[in-house]
Amino acid sequence: MAENKDSDEILLPKFSEADKFIHQSARLKLISLLYVIEEADYVFLKNQTGLTWGNLSSHMDKLEEKGYIYVKKEFKEKKPQTTAKLTKKGRKAFEDYRQKIKKMEKMLKMADSN
């Protein structure tokens, strides 16, 4: 029994605090989108993710606090524009998260086939 427990621990990928942070649905949408594009303003992020302004703003703040995104506020033709892009740290954290999810999927498929 103890042997099984040990082998499970070896096989299953361990989810870190960073992974749990990214796994939250709204943040996952935002970080995935920022991963595939170079940068975008909040209007674009809102339209693509379907989040409300409040939700978007609060999750973007959290991502910025973690150092996963870089937020730039500027004026373009006298209008305020807030753009965001993924930092190296954010990119690395998302890649690690993806690898763990992929590993987990692979294992679940193997378990299904057995």
- Using CB under 8 A as the criterion, which residues of the chain lie in contact with another protein when the complex forms? 23, 25, 28, 32-33, 35-48, 53, 57, 80-83, 98, 101
Residue among 23 and 103 whose Cβ is closer to another protein: 23
Residue among 6 and 35 whose Cβ is closer to another protein: 35
State how far the Cα of 15 lies from the Cα of 23, in Å rounded to an integer: 10
To another protein, the closest distance from the beta carbon of 57 in angstroms equals 6
Residue among 7 and 35 whose Cβ is closer to another protein: 35
Long-range contacts of 107-111 (CB under 8 A, 24+ apart): 107/11, 107/12
Residue 81 CA to chain centroid, in angstroms? 23
To another protein, the closest distance from the beta carbon of 69 in angstroms equals 14
State how far the Cα of 21 lies from the Cα of 63, in Å rounded to an integer: 9
